[in-house]
Amino acid sequence: MTTLKDLASTIRSKNAGVDLITFDIIFRDRDAFVRVRDSAVITPARVADMFRVPPADITDFVVFEPARAIKFTIRRKVPSGSPGERDVFGSQQYPPLFEIRIPD
Amino acid sequence: MKPIRIITPTGHLGTTPLEKGSFERGCAQRPDYIIADSGSADIGPYPLGADRPASSEVWQRHDLEAMLVAARKLGIPMIIGSASDTGTNRGVDQYVRLIKEIAAQHKLAPFKLAAVYSEVPVSDLIHRVQAGETIAGLNGRPTADLALLKRTDRVVAVMGVEPIRAVLRDGADVIIAGRSGDCAIFAAPILNAGGGEADAYFCGKAMECASFCGEPFMGKETILGRVDSEGVFLTAMHPAQRCTPASVASHAMYERLNPFREYVPGGFLDMSRCRYEQVDEKTTRVTGQTFVADAETWIKLEGAGKVAERALFILGIRDPYTIANLDRAIDWTKGKLAERFGPVGGTYDVFYHDYGRGAVMGEMEPTPAKSPLEVGIVVEVTCDDAARAEVICHIAAKNLFYARLPDVKGTAGTAAIMSDEVLHARPAYEWTLNHIIKAKDQSEFFSTRFETIHA
């Protein structure tokens, strides 16, 4: 079974300003990008479900052809660095994406 | 237009030192400007709210020294944005002091320095809201009200190109700017040279994190940007790095919610029709970007305010039974806190960061933790009073040591204490303002001071 981490060269998360965390899935290989894009298994609904946030908290979802990338952005529950913060830079929220299964 | 060539050696001056090799190769290209951004909101709200730098002055001085000495030797202007991480007046003044010290140390010939300030007094914003002005929220935030402003300790306005264009026109050799838009410090000299807005802002967008727009991934290496009538050209200066269509395009989306638009005071850069071409081994050309002007000028405001004092305690747990029942143990300790100090979330708050069991992703974690061998717990307590935060934190941690679970076998302590002490953390702050305000023009919230620096 092929998973996203087998096909993408970069899977990352990072703050986009103080209220948002943005996720980038980037493919070095164009065929891999096309395969994942056309499989349509990565959708706003799917990532909202995966990260346990309401669909309205997925603020942006784009397929970005020039960088062979899929990109989406999640609204934080509280601004970065507030009391109780667990990831000030938003840089360790991406690993669950690794195991998304991509059909052959 | 006259072609303009800019080098940038670092995406956040002062965090870790710039790499000299590619910087010297960049200088050897005889650029027209040396530019670097020194700010970030990623560092959390504390540095702005408390007005403290996040970076070490050792590295700030290191990078400023390399850039200043090179710029004076080449006889070209140097521009630094968002001085000392946050771009407060303290940050600008600190960098002006460092520039003077470095000039004296190297016996540099006199030069003209411009300091551009961007701090906005909270009282000024309160008066504006009372007078009916709107401070509109970004990213789904509500409009700022007086209560929010009163929770705010410090505010910076994020400058666009105009304040920097003005001091360049007035002959500044070295510009130390307060909080600045990432693109603005690069776009300003390009616009002054007659470049179009789309190319100027795109060049800034691509260069703002220096070598992050190249591949393979490297930080703190120099990038050369050129803008002429043929477009924007980005060249990696490190021998093992290249700017490729993929690397430049993927940087366009870095740290942004949308890869097609970059908002600046006075409009936005539209990158949806960009064409990326490899023109030589290390260089990518970008064309097709457009600029959509806005009739109104909105300036971004960043603000932070203190929430509470903070204390920490570090524990570890190895007993598999306790780990399996950790939620119950934490509930019990919270109950004990409530008996003595009132409800959690009332006059104080407590957070159990359970590393090994979901601390990193918290509520966003989709994968239930398997039974980890060990769990590390950082107990975080926030409270208005520092002494009380320490007392509560001590009990919040020690009660995990004494946690009452029905079948626990280890009755001489249910947690390993790394060091039996409460750690004093810096106070908790929050980002209160991530907002925009309408300005008469791009210069409204900024002020400028010139000074001739004599070694």
Gyration radius of chain B over CA positions: 25
SS3 at position A32? helix
Partner A contacted by B355 (CB < 8 A): no
- The average confidence (pLDDT) of chain B is 96
- Partners of B379 in beta bridges: B313, B352
Q: What pLDDT shows up at residue A60?
A: 94
The count of C-alpha atoms lying within 13 angstroms of the C-alpha of B241, restricted to the half-sphere facing its C-beta, is 26
The domain spans of chain B are 4-118+159-295, 307-430
pLDDT in tens, B122-179: 999 999 999 999 999 999 999 999 999 999 999 999 999 999 999 999 999 999 999 9
Cα(B12)–Cα(B400) distance, rounded to whole angstroms?
41
- B368: pLDDT strictly greater than 90: no
In this predicted structure, what is the pLDDT of residue B109?
Answer: 98
Q: How far is CA B396 from the centre of its chain?
A: 33
For residue B257, what pLDDT is reported? 82
- CB–CB of B52/B9 below 8 Å? no
Closest partner residue to B139 (CB to CB) among A17, A69, A78 is A17
Kindly indicate the confidence band of residue B252, based on its pLDDT and cuts at 50, 70 and 90.
confident
Q: Is the dihedral of CA B12, B15, B20, B22 positive or negative?
A: negative
Structural domains of chain A, ranges and CATH numbers in brackets? 2-78 (3.30.70.260)
Strands B416-417 and B297-317: antiparallel
- Which pLDDT belongs to residue B93? 98
- How much is the pLDDT for A49? 97
> With 90 as the cut, is the pLDDT of residue B366 above it?
yes
For residue B97, give Cα distances in angstroms to B107, B249, B395: 15, 38, 46
Tokens 């802002």 correspond to what residue? B201
Tell me which of A13, A23, A64, A68 to substitute to probe the interface with B (most B C-beta atoms closer than 10 Å): A64
Q: Which of B118, B21, B106, B19 has the alpha carbon at shortest distance from B71? A: B106
Look at A16 and B255 and tell me if their CB atoms are within 8 Å.
yes
Does residue B345 sit at the A interface (CB-CB below 8 Å)?
A: no
Average pLDDT over residues B414-420: 92
**Which of A28, A66, A75 lies nearest to residue B139, judging by beta carbons?**
A75
Confidence at residue B424, expressed as pLDDT on a 0 to 100 scale: 95
Return d(Cα A91, Cα A85) in angstroms, integer.
Answer: 13
- For residue B337, give the 3-state DSSP assignment: helix
Q: Is residue B347 within a helix (H) or strand (E), and if so which, with residue range?
A: none
The pLDDT score that the predictor gives to residue B256 is 84
Nearest by CB: B42 against A15, A50, A52: A15
What's the pTM value of the predicted model, to 2 decimals? Answer: 0.94
Cβ(B115)–Cβ(B453) below 8 Å: no
pLDDT value for B258: 84
Contact B60, B95 (CB under 8 A): yes
Q: Architecture of domain B307-430 in CATH?
A: 2-Layer Sandwich (3.30)
The pLDDT > 90 percentage for chain A reads 95
DSSP state of A66: G
Tokens representing B232? 């924007």
Give B277-318 pLDDT, tens digit per residue: 999 999 999 999 999 999 999 999 999 999 999 999 999 999
Q: Is the pLDDT of residue B354 over 90?
A: yes
Residue B410 above 90 pLDDT? no
Mean pLDDT calculated for residue range B179-199: 97
Q: Do B349 and A75 touch (CB under 8 A)?
A: no
* Nearest CA-CA distance, residue A43 and chain B, Å: 16
- Which regions in chain A score pLDDT beneath 50? none
User: Looking at chain B from residue 92 to 111, which residues have their Cβ under 8 Å from any Cβ of chain A?
Assistant: none
The pLDDT value given to residue B403: 87
pLDDT reported for residue B455? 81
- At B290, list the tokens: 């457009």
Neighbour tally for A87: CB within 10 Å: 19
- Nearest CB among A20, A67, A78 relative to B253 is that of A67
CA distance A2 to chain B (A): 19
d(CA B63, CA B66) in angstroms, rounded, equals 5
| Selected residue of A15, A18, A76 to mutate for chain B interface (largest B Cβ count, 10 A) | A18
In chain A, whose CA is at the least distance from the CA of B250? A67
B6 pLDDT band, cuts 50/70/90, is very high
User: B77 is written with which tokens?
Assistant: 């202007």
Report how far residue B120's alpha carbon sits from residue B2's, in angstroms, rounded to the nearest whole number. Answer: 36
- Give, in degrees to the nearest 5, the angle at Cα B185 between B183 and B186: 70
